[in-house]
Structure 1
Amino acid sequence: MTTRELNRLHTHDLELGTTEATQKHVPRNVVPPRRISQRRLDFEHRRPRWLRECIAEATGVFMYVLPGIGAIATFTLNAASPIGASAFGSLFAIGFAFALGIAFAIITCAPTSGGHFSPAVTICLCIWQGFPLKKVPYYIFSQLVGGFLAALVLMGIYHQQINEMKELLLAAGKPLVANGAPASILCSFPNPDQSMGYVFFTEFICDCFVGFIIWAAIDPANPFISPAVAPLMIGLAYAAMAWGFGDVTLTMNMARDLGPRIVAAIFFGKEAFSYKNYSPIAILVSIPATMVSSAFYEFVFRDSVSVIQSGHAVHEDGDEALVRHITRTTTVEGIDERRGDYKS
């Protein structure tokens, strides 16, 4: 070891690692990282942007779905154990697994792709926020691939336990595709006594709720949420609906359902799509529901002047048009106020 390596750290310095995130908040210094080479810069410049965005969307959905269905697997596979499922998982644990998975996905992948992780969000961003239409198919395909891969990985991890459960159910003459059966680890299925109209209504309301929270969280003019807590708030919105209505049957995301449902059909049969004609509700309802909730936010709650003042948007006709708008609306309000004083 050289003298330079021995003297690399002063007594007040912090070594490279997670400590880098603290350098703005603590008085101690972090030693400088290795200098970036031109070869590195050239490599990063050559990477196709669209490919990085697609990989980020697939990775984000993978990171969000895998913990959630893993928590479902823990709960389902131990339901008949002597200790009981409550020792290994619960609806509360499942909701938290999805919430933290969503938060982790946003903080790791959103800087690259924007962090949609849902076809419904991608479509609504295209409608309301100017997300390029040509990217929509790529994003949705990537999201579905992420959910599909997460389900495949889970089947690999729990292959032995799922096979044991499958053999027991087949020996008892019970179905593999139903709520509480092995296929329900990957995707949702309604209870036998549930009507599809009731399930549709619940899914629609819960999806509207989550979509509304997402739109509020990504509004740059919202003073009550910072970029640091937005990922957790979005995740907790999903968890809150899972805690409140998970026993009714929910998916709340096409990417979370369709990819794993394809894997369920591969391992447990095509009934994964035909069971009680439920799959269209699970796959599609999140899209119109999020469109409704985002439209509600855009028409009622959006304050574009505040967004412009925050520096996140500009007037399409330039600053002069913005000044004319502010002058005109301020003048009108002033006149109305003076008229009210005069009448009183």
Structure 2
Amino acid sequence: MASTGVFFYVYPGIASTASFLLNETNPAFGSLLQVGFAFGFGIAFAIITSMTICFATWQGFPWKKVPYYIFAQIFGAFMAGLFVYGQYHEQIVAYSAATIAAGKGTVFNGGPASIFCSFPGETQTNLGYLFMIEFFVDSYIGIIIWACLDPANPFVSPQAAPWAIVPKSTLQNLADGIPTPLPLNNPTNYILCLAYSTMVWAFADITISTNMARDLGTRLVALIFFGREAFTYHSYSWISILVNIPATLFATAYYEMLMRDSLQKIGKGAAVHEHGEEGLNLHLTKSGISGQQQGPLSPGMQKVFSLGSQGSTLHEGHKMEPGFSLAAENRTNGGI
């Protein structure tokens, strides 16, 4: 499943790139807008390599299974590259002959090899600059993914939030050999598609990769057909292959430490509500997160939790946290 998902992500993206480059960027055959949409559409099907590592880091996915998933993802991208090369073989050979005759070779930004993987422009010789571009693009994507996975996020409907990308339960089922369909019809996938496409439109002209499996798998195809320079050109390949992993770990750590709702910590037993379980239960009920109240309230709790003209309160004179008020409103209105 992991191989198939990455194949469906990489295949339309590099095929769109091939159509765009091989026709000399003729708008009739494609554009950067088309390439962005192609990769954005495909990412809804994929399990991102850096996210697999983040699931193991934060969500309890077994570390011993991570290498198998990463290998499967790289293999899926590799097969997508082989398919596209086979389908565009005649055009790629002709384009390679033209670029070689022009003295450019085949491995450069905009060259035949760049159909399959990223290469920096001729003037992009500062690796620190390229590192910064890749790191912050990947961090942006990582935060959006992790925000969609947060069930307490009021800006994504509660029914859809846990299923953004591929949830831990799906990864675990797949790892255990249980046939589990990927949530391809989920609204949050469209959030990721748009976020991913936006990064392509904004930064593709200054070189990004965004995914280890997508880059390494197709770079191996470029190695086969265009030689070692696919890995040695401007000493860039390590950035495109590896930087997305620490960037996504940084993004998810930022979210976990600064943006994750404290309610989940209470649920896991890492923290407690100041009024105990009864207070937590009423808080969930008032916010709309819990559908029913468990048992009658004590007189003290009836006084502490009161409904006034300004909405629910945790203490007399203090409003409930805005995030939960918004979550309750979203639930009432069917979500955002």
Alignment TM-score, normalising by the size of structure 2: 0.72
Does residue 177 (structure 1) correspond to residue 135 (structure 2)? The answer is no
Contact 2:273 2:279 in 1 (8 A): no
Instruction: Tell me the amino acid that sits aligned with residue 251 of structure 2.
Output: S
Paired position in structure 2 for 1:303: 261
Aligned residue among 315, 333, 338 for 2:268: 315
What displacement does 1:125 show? 1.0
Aligned pairs for 1:131-170 within 5 A: 131-170=61-100
What displacement does 1:171 show? 2.4
What displacement does 1:324 show? 3.8
Paired position in structure 2 for 1:186: 116
Instruction: Tell me the amino acid that sits aligned with residue 201 of structure 2.
Output: W
* Contiguous gaps of at least 5 residues in structure 2: 161-185, 284-299, 305-313, 319-336
* Contiguous gaps of at least 5 residues in structure 1: 1-55, 107-116, 309-313
What displacement does 1:316 show? 5.3
Does residue 100 (structure 1) correspond to residue 38 (structure 2)? The answer is no
Contact 1:146 1:259 in 2 (8 A): yes
CA distance in structure 2 between the aligned counterparts of 1:244 and 1:326, rounded to whole angstroms: 49
In the TM superposition, what whole-angstrom CA distance separates every residue of 1:310-337 from its partner, at most 9, and x where no partner exists?
Answer: xxxx53589x999847759x99xx7x96
Contact 1:207 1:289 in 2 (8 A): yes
SS of match in other structure, 2:205: coil
Aligned residue among 120, 142, 161 for 1:211: 142
What displacement does 1:60 show? 0.4
Paired position in structure 1 for 2:4: 59
Q: Alignment length, in residue pairs?
A: 262
Paired position in structure 2 for 1:90: 31
CA distance in structure 2 between the aligned counterparts of 1:155 and 1:322, rounded to whole angstroms: 62
Change in 2 beyond 3 A, CA 1:164/1:323: farther
In the TM superposition, what whole-angstrom CA distance separates every residue of 1:161-211 from its partner, at most 9, and x where no partner exists?
Answer: 001111122223221000011000000000011122111111111000000
Change in 2 beyond 3 A, CA 1:337/1:316: closer
Q: Which has the higher Rg, Structure 1 or Structure 2?
A: 1
Does 1 or 2 have the higher relative contact order (CA < 8 Å, sep 6+)?
2
Instruction: Tell me the amino acid that sits aligned with residue 136 of structure 1.
Output: V
CA distance in structure 2 between the aligned counterparts of 1:321 and 1:143, rounded to whole angstroms: 42
Change in 2 beyond 3 A, CA 1:327/1:337: closer
Contact 1:220 1:307 in 2 (8 A): no
Paired position in structure 1 for 2:332: none
CA distance in structure 1 between the aligned counterparts of 2:260 and 2:244, rounded to whole angstroms: 22
CA distance in structure 1 between the aligned counterparts of 2:18 and 2:194, rounded to whole angstroms: 21
Alignment RMSD (CA, Å)? 2.9
What displacement does 1:225 show? 2.1
In the TM superposition, what whole-angstrom CA distance separates every residue of 1:126-173 from its partner, at most 9, and x where no partner exists?
Answer: 111111111111111111111111101110110110011111222232
Aligned pairs for 1:6-155 within 5 A: 56-79=1-24, 85-103=26-44, 105=45, 117-155=47-85
Contact 1:221 1:307 in 2 (8 A): no
CA distance in structure 1 between the aligned counterparts of 2:53 and 2:228, rounded to whole angstroms: 28
Alignment TM-score, normalising by the size of structure 1: 0.70
Paired position in structure 1 for 2:241: 283
In the TM superposition, what whole-angstrom CA distance separates every residue of 1:19-49 from its partner, at most 9, and x where no partner exists?
Answer: xxxxxxxxxxxxxxxxxxxxxxxxxxxxxxx
CA distance in structure 2 between the aligned counterparts of 1:240 and 1:57, rounded to whole angstroms: 24
CA distance in structure 2 between the aligned counterparts of 1:323 and 1:156, rounded to whole angstroms: 66
CA distance in structure 2 between the aligned counterparts of 1:237 and 1:326, rounded to whole angstroms: 40
Change in 2 beyond 3 A, CA 1:298/1:276: same
